[in-house]
Structure 1
């Protein structure tokens, strides 16, 4: 593949990234809120193991006429949020389900990933400019039988006529959980034609994330490359953490748009309850790998009132003895109202 025609564009993107703070204006106030549903499942990768499924229903507020408390909290978080940013806030409800490779064994191999469910709510504060986004998120919920992982997975398997997972009696025990997540993303777009600044463009979205909590503690660095139109409408498609989460809201320019993307992310993991086991009680656990790599490809369709995306993720081994990398698909549908 000849990359020479891309070199000037990549050079322009990198130069824009280095000087992004010089032209970091706040976007126009947006009177529309966003409702987003993201569903993830490893059936898209023709597997049924490890991180096997997840869903998240999220809402993001409009940015026009923010309430007084939101403006106050945004000012309070100024050292983390970009200066002069536009604030939004949001709520979410989600669930993640994890299983070993052999779901037909009633007593799975002790060296395999434990069964676990994570049912949580989330509160999010966001401030963003044309080129920078800062996110503060608190997730709170429960790991264990109260997370209803067994009921959700096996009822869905019954519905689609797939064998039930039989080892749920060995799952992690009930434990309240909390994650505090800080995320910073940058958005650099370069039009492919100088005479058509609103047409096709090439974009980079670097990201930094830190998560602290008894559920997941990690730091990650990511980079996404995008090609398409209406790239200024979001910072990437929404996904479920710990993957690069993009933005649950989107702010299009009134036209239809699309883009394709590819991204990579590296995580340094200090704590993962789904591998390390319960914090204060004896439970199953495996030998966690401290550094995890992840790649993703996908496509996004942007409409004036809705956004549809698909992402296919390839995640490297997370524990010693994991014989193959995991892969899963994410489908996300967002509506503005």
Structure 2
């Protein structure tokens, strides 16, 4: 067990090890695919990328509160598509200076927010409400020797349609954590 001096909470190392094993099981296939893609053609300098980000306040031993966790899958293809004229619109909004590299990227993500008291089924009015956001993003990154700019458009759903409650309850079940009881109030 670890003890957190700032709030007196304890954190079980066994569940942290379980988290690491699951993260490795998820991350290693993506790393392997990127390695295979890069090795397939040695002349290819840029294969694009796929990234998976998993955030959870429990990784640091903190209790659920405010932004409690999220998932995001990013994809930046090697070949830059012109998606529904999006690349052309982005070009007009963010012209490419000479010597720059611009890339279109896509993301699928989910964010979750909870109050501190997750054991109550009552609406908590004096703290962060239960909230979720499930979204897709299409954006453009512009890299120059002096600066990096990013412009994106995100569309998504909030509330029960975000499935944040179901995911957080499942996550807590997998890692034997306290079940959040208040998602019905969202």
Q: TM-score range by the shorter chain?
A: 0.5 to 0.7
CA shift in 2, pair 1:149/1:95, >3 Å: same
RMSD: 2.2
Whole-angstrom distance in 1 between the partners of 2:73 and 2:183 = 25
Which sections of structure 1, spanning at least 5 residues, go unmatched?
1-28, 172-337
Q: 1:140 aligns with which of 145, 151, 155?
A: 155
User: 2:140 matched to which residue of 1?
Assistant: 125
Give the drift of 1:137: 0.5
Q: 1:114 aligns with which of 119, 122, 129?
A: 129
TM-score, scaled relative to structure 2: 0.67
Q: Give the structure with the larger helix fraction.
A: 2
1:271-310 mapped onto 2 (5 Å cutoff): none
TM-score, scaled relative to structure 1: 0.38
User: 1:53 matched to which residue of 2?
Assistant: 69
* Matched-pair contact (CA < 8 Å) for 1:104–1:167: yes
Give the drift of 1:162: 1.4
CA shift in 2, pair 1:51/1:74, >3 Å: closer
The reply to whether residue 83 of structure 1 matches residue 123 of structure 2 is: no
The reply to whether residue 99 of structure 1 matches residue 114 of structure 2 is: yes
Give the drift of 1:103: 0.2
2:46 alignment partner, SS class: coil
Give the drift of 1:70: 7.2
User: 2:3 matched to which residue of 1?
Assistant: none
Runs of 4+ residues deviating >3 angstroms: 65-75
Whole-angstrom distance in 2 between the partners of 1:67 and 1:30 = 18
Whole-angstrom distance in 2 between the partners of 1:164 and 1:67 = 43
The reply to whether residue 38 of structure 1 matches residue 49 of structure 2 is: no
Give the drift of 1:50: 1.2
Give the drift of 1:131: 2.5
CA shift in 2, pair 1:94/1:70, >3 Å: closer
* Matched-pair contact (CA < 8 Å) for 1:48–1:101: yes
1:107-256 mapped onto 2 (5 Å cutoff): 107-171=122-186
* Matched-pair contact (CA < 8 Å) for 2:96–2:102: no
